[in-house]
Amino acid sequence: MRFIDEYRDPDAAAGYARALRRITTRPWTLMEVCGGQTHAIVKFGVDELLPPEVTLVHGPGCPVCVTPLGLIEKAIEIASLPGVIFCSFGDMLRVPGREHDLLTVKARGGDVRIVYSPLDAVALARVHPDREVVFFAVGFETTAPANAMAVYQAARAGLANFSMLVSHVLVPPAMEAILSSPKCRVQGFLAAGHVCTVMGYTEYEPLAARYIVPIVVTGFEPLDILQGVYMCVKQLEEGRAEVENQYARAVRRDGNQPAQQLVREVFRVVPRKWRGVGEIPQSGLALARPYQSFDAGLRFGIAGHTADEPTECCSGLIMQGLMKPRECSAFGTRCTPEHPLGATMVSSEGACAAYYHYRRLDIPRQEAEVATHAD
Amino acid sequence: MPTDLASGAACPVPIGDHTHVLLAHGGGGRLTNRLIDSLFLPAFGDSAVHAHHDGAHLHIGGARLAFSTDSYVVRPMFFPGGDIGTLAINGTVNDLAMCGARPQFLSVGFVIEEGLPMESLQRIVASMRTTARAAGVAVVTGDTKVVDRGKGDGVYVNTAGVGLIEHDGLIAPASVRPGDAVLLSGDIGRHGMAVMAAREGLQFESAIESDCAPVAAPVLALLAAGIPVHCLRDLTRGGMASATVEIAETAGLHIRLDEAAIPIREDVRGACEILGFDPLYVANEGRFIAFVPADAADRALEVLRGFEVSRAAALVGMVSDTSRGLVTLKSRIGATRVVDMLSGEQLPRIC
């Protein structure tokens, strides 16, 4: 498949691995910010190709994982109301609240629907004027423009029965929170390519300068990641700390300006609580004042829940790069995808889910002797 | 009053801590297995040996029969490459074929929703007739129920079937041996993506067509050619991954798959990439894997490739005893990962 196979080429991957070994002289710890990258790394075994000196730790870039428990509870409460059609991306449905998840609400008769675009939810509101249609707007800068467009269109169409439960988060403040922690062990970042397609990467430049840390905007295919690691290690070895763009086929320095403008029109920047991490200043988006009538929390009069996280869940440490999933004592025993303690175990971008699905069992040696042939 | 407790027929073991049935209980993954193991088997399971197989092996008089049943609740009823009728015939025909049996007779039960256009029912029945004829089976008995409007998705179909077993081997996970080759009968993922695209109104450049087809003919040809087939499994719900994991766990062996050897069409890969699906977990309705001794693999592939439905058959993996109950996959870039059973429905991702 074009634009996919080229980036999964085994010979090119081996070439990058060799080049990386040549330039690496001492230990480095890098963080890939995005959960999509984490999954690609674990699924394709990209980390197995790295020299032993290079350690990848997994960042907070999983929107499902960082959505606070209180907001999940709010979603569950709204979705359980009669007359509500609750729309969400598929990922959110299995995220555990205090007692159950949105799939359970559906099983008990709630009208919970998976949509592929927030505009599908707007369309539902149009054809069901007698129902309240609520969209669960979760995500980073990547999904913010589409969600903003949904509210913008609903406002233009005067759709009074559409609203949005917003839990948007922003990447740079989270990176700054990680860097400013005294326990920080991250020496270089692979920034999330898709976030940068929207936002560009100028906002990372002050971070790189202030914390003297290389930041490489990186894509999601195995070769993207290998090249991103190479560029990052090269900077570290040469004593540089700059923002570089590995994902140039999709990302421009200034990003997608019309999309940014729409986001600024519909949303405003607010402090946001990150599940497992805590509150980070100016790290989230909420509806801007002219669009507040579309705020589902306000519309249904549901106050902020302040649910406590299960104390046993270490997802906060994992998402700050302070721990790896297999180092958690509950991993694979008291915490599994069927009975998760935290969202990192259920989201398709969660680090714990990646390790559970692809690394849970020890793979015996002698794999090299497997000989099959594609005919 | 808990009278059943007093009478000794104790309440079944709680199914995990789920108080209600979830869609994932029917998804063919971990929850389905748990439901079978903790509720159905304790109730019905004297013949537990075949509990996780596609059909039962029966001895009646001097004859050896395979017996299987399946219900079809697909939405939409019509999709590119087939409809609920073709599925209902081929599904049960294929389950019988997976027992190494020659499918012979089917029953058909319809649960029809009031208000279903008669023309739709006629189309479904017509395609069942054509499909049954192509698969060489006769529909010999049936049942019809109509439920209130709103109580069903147009129509649900159940089929059950019997087939004759004409070989002596036991085709089951327990027969799989270290050194066996894993053969896949063709490209994977088409049925699941075709239905998903039709159901959700997803527009791709070209319509992905279901692979729905009977596979009894190539299976019977393998047996007729004297190939010692150890195990067969059709790759329906849960896809290739769930089928191999289930066999590896039952057989207590290690299945090693080679990602680059598994055929997947471009359009299916593209659709999966967009939605964040892994084609290994996507359902098929005309694909199966066969476990045969490695030295018979080339001959078996030659037989399979003689049939249109298995023209693209390929060697995709090997069985070893290096680990118990494990499936691993050599990724395209040469690293190795574990293949796990799906723990719920595959859900489209956020970004």
3-state secondary structure of A60: strand
pLDDT at B219: 97
Mean pLDDT along residues A9-19? 93
CB A137 within 8 A of CB A147: yes
- Which pairing describes strands B254-258 and B314-320: parallel, antiparallel, or unpaired? antiparallel
pLDDT over threshold 80, residue B19 = yes
pLDDT over threshold 80, residue A87 = yes
Reported confidence tier of residue A96, pLDDT bands at 50, 70, 90:
confident
Phi/psi at A149 (nearest 5 deg)?
-60, -35
pLDDT at B257: 97
- What is the edge-to-edge ordering of all strands in the sheet holding B56-60? B56-60, B63-72, B155-165, B101-113, B138-147
Among chain B residues, CA nearest to A106 = B22
Q: With an 8 Å Cβ cutoff, are B269 and A1 in contact?
A: yes
Mean pLDDT along residues B97-121? 97
Q: State in Å, rounded, how far the first CA of chain B is from the last one.
A: 52
Cβ–Cβ pairs < 8 A, chains A and B: 147
Residue A63: list chain B partners with CB under 8 A. 350-351
pLDDT at B15: 44
Report the amino acid identity of residue B101.
A
pLDDT tens across B121-180, in order?
A: 999 999 999 999 999 999 999 999 999 998 888 999 999 999 999 988 889 999 999 999
- Comparison of pLDDT for A161 and A365, the residue scoring more: A161
Reported confidence tier of residue A303, pLDDT bands at 50, 70, 90:
low
Mean pLDDT along residues B8-26? 61
Mean pLDDT along residues A23-32? 98
What whole-number distance in Å separates Cα of residue A175 and Cα of residue A33? 8
Q: With an 8 Å Cβ cutoff, are B343 and A372 in contact?
A: no
pLDDT at B274: 83
pLDDT over threshold 70, residue B259 = yes
Domain ranges of chain A: 1-313, 315-359
pLDDT tens across A161-186, in order?
A: 999 999 999 999 999 999 999 999 99
Query: Of A119, A204, A187, A113, which is closest to residue A153 (Cα–Cα)?
Result: A119
Q: With an 8 Å Cβ cutoff, are B348 and A91 in contact?
A: yes
Among A64, A99, A363, pick the best mutation site for testing chain B contact (most B Cβ within 10 A). A363
CB B333 within 8 A of CB A7: no
Mean pLDDT along residues A282-304? 92
Reported confidence tier of residue B207, pLDDT bands at 50, 70, 90:
confident
pLDDT tens across A209-249, in order?
A: 999 999 999 999 999 999 999 999 999 999 999 999 999 99
CATH 3.65.10.10 describes domain B173-338: no
Among B196, B330, B333, pick the best mutation site for testing chain A contact (most A Cβ within 10 A). B333
Tell me the pTM.
Answer: 0.83
Mean pLDDT along residues A16-41? 96
Q: With an 8 Å Cβ cutoff, are B16 and A338 in contact?
A: yes
Rounded percentage of chain B residues whose pLDDT exceeds 90: 67
Rounded percentage of chain A residues whose pLDDT exceeds 90: 75
pLDDT at A170: 97
- In whole numbers, what is the pLDDT of chain B averaged over residues? 89
Q: Distance of CA B285 to CAs B83, B167, B201, B298, B346, Å?
A: 11, 25, 21, 24, 17
Q: With an 8 Å Cβ cutoff, are B20 and A46 in contact?
A: no
What whole-number distance in Å separates Cα of residue A307 and Cα of residue A294? 24
What whole-number distance in Å separates Cα of residue B71 and Cα of residue A320? 47
- In whole numbers, what is the pLDDT of chain A averaged over residues? 91
pLDDT over threshold 60, residue A188 = yes
Q: With an 8 Å Cβ cutoff, are A45 and B333 in contact?
A: yes
Reported confidence tier of residue B205, pLDDT bands at 50, 70, 90:
low
- Comparison of pLDDT for A83 and B335, the residue scoring more: A83
CB B86 within 8 A of CB B127: yes
Contact of A90 with chain B, judged by CB distance below 8 Å, is answered with yes
Residues 6+ apart with CB under 8 A from A142: A192, A194, A195, A197, A198, B351
Mean pLDDT along residues B246-266? 95
Q: What interface predicted TM-score (ipTM) does this complex get?
A: 0.77
* Domain B55-166 in this protein, CATH class: alpha beta
Residues 6+ apart with CB under 8 A from B117: none
Q: With an 8 Å Cβ cutoff, are B337 and A358 in contact?
A: yes
Mean pLDDT along residues B79-86? 95
Fold of A1-313: Rossmann fold (3.40.50)
Residue A138: list chain B partners with CB under 8 A. 350
Domain ranges of chain B: 18-51, 55-166, 173-338
Mean pLDDT along residues B235-243? 92
What whole-number distance in Å separates Cα of residue B232 and Cα of residue B171? 7
pLDDT tens across B3-16, in order?
A: 333 333 333 334 45
pLDDT at B136: 95
- Comparison of pLDDT for A139 and B45, the residue scoring more: A139
Partner residue opposite A348 with nearest CB, options B276, B333, B340: B276
pLDDT at B44: 84
Q: With an 8 Å Cβ cutoff, are B334 and A373 in contact?
A: no
For A122-131, A220-229, B51-60, B227-236, which range has the lowest pLDDT when averaged over its residues?
B51-60
Strand partners of residue B163: B66, B103
Residue A140: list chain B partners with CB under 8 A. 351
- Comparison of pLDDT for B105 and B168, the residue scoring more: B105
Mean pLDDT along residues A109-131? 95
Residue A142: list chain B partners with CB under 8 A. 351
